[in-house]
């Protein structure tokens, strides 16, 4: 049933490869626990007590409440599928509560720090131009790492300054970009022609011409951010957080940011409605009668 469930997610729900890998890992861990602790108990016969025991073991192992919550999301989806397939008659997750997780504001890079990287092109040569453009594009568009990796050259309209990305569950969206980024892309494409056997379908390629991969992009971003910020988080996703935060702080409407980020619900975007202390001070100073 797990194989059938994963095929359902891949071919009917069109989940990303990254999400499928996470679901598969969570379910394997759960199955291994049932087999080892309850003498090969099947997932179909497991009750809410077995699931609670699984959660307790994860806690004993020092697994964070946020990670446990994610594993429960996997199990909820799985048992909901079993119920739809009439494999079970009662969903055991109905009697299982998720552990409380502390609210966490998304980390982001300050505008003055991003300005050290976001103005370009400032280098020459294919490799340096590509590396700089990767960082610029993540910040200028707010796209996900997987979306950048899979970005097609034909999906960029330099005349209109807009590009089309394929997001989660194969949902397409259009993202506008600045003339500054337009110049960087143009110069990069010129340099790309000098790379022997460069893949023409995908925008970003390695020095030998094959498409870039996620770990390569991650290394490029981490290296670049290490030069401008002391923040512990230096992943590509922090550039997405920075993009959304800076848009909101400069007056963009939350619904517009939702569409730009490709969120399916407004709740996912509302994490960016936090304000830093300087904005609170400005609001207080301009609005309070005694300020």
Which residues carry out catalysis? Answer: 144, 168, 237, 240, 263, 272
Report which of 41, 58, 57 is spatially closest to residue 92, judged by C-alpha positions.
41
Residue 152 is classified by DSSP as: B
CA distance 211 to 199: 7
CA distance 221 to 135: 6
CA distance 54 to 52: 5
DSSP secondary structure letters along 97-131:
PPPP----PPP---HHHHHHHHS-----SHHHHHH
Phi, psi of 105, deg, nearest 5: -75, 145
| Secondary element (H or E) of residue 174 | strand 172-176
Cα 18 to the center of its chain, rounded Å: 10
In the chain, count of helices (H) and strands (E)? 13, 3
Report which of 94, 134, 127, 112 is spatially closest to residue 228, judged by C-alpha positions.
112
């Amino acid at each position: 049933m797990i194989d059938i469930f994963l095929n359902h997610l891949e071919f009917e729900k069109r989940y990303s490869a990254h999400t499928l890998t996470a679901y598969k890992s969570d379910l394997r861990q759960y199955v291994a626990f049932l087999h080892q602790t309850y003498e090969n108990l099947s997932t179909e016969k497991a009750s809410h007590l077995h699931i609670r025991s699984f959660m307790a073991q994860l806690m004993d192992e020092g697994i964070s409440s946020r990670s446990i919550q994610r594993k429960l999301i996997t199990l909820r989806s799985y048992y909901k599928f079993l119920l739809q397939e009439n494999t079970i008659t009662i969903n055991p997750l109905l009697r299982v509560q998720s552990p409380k997780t502390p609210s966490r504001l998304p980390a982001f890079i300050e505008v003055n720090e991003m300005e050290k990287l976001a103005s370009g092109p400032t280098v020459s040569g294919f490799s340096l131009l590509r590396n700089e453009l990767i960082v610029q594009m993540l910040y200028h568009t707010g796209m996900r790492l997987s979306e950048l990796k899979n970005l097609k050259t034909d999906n960029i309209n330099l005349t209109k300054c807009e590009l089309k990305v394929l997001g989660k569950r194969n949902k397409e969206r259009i993202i506008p970009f600045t003339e500054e980024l337009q110049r960087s892309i143009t110069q990069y494409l010129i340099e790309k022609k000098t790379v022997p056997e460069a893949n023409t379908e995908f925008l970003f390629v390695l020095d030998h011409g094959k498409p870039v991969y996620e770990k390569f992009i991650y290394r490029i971003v981490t290296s670049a951010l290490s030069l401008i910020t002391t923040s512990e988080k230096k992943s590509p996703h922090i550039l997405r957080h920075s993009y959304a935060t800076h848009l909101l702080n400069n007056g963009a409407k939350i619904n517009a940011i939702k569409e730009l980020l490709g969120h399916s619900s407004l709740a996912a975007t509302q994490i960016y409605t936090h304000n830093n202390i300087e904005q609170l001070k400005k609001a207080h100073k301009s609005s309070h009668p005694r300020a």
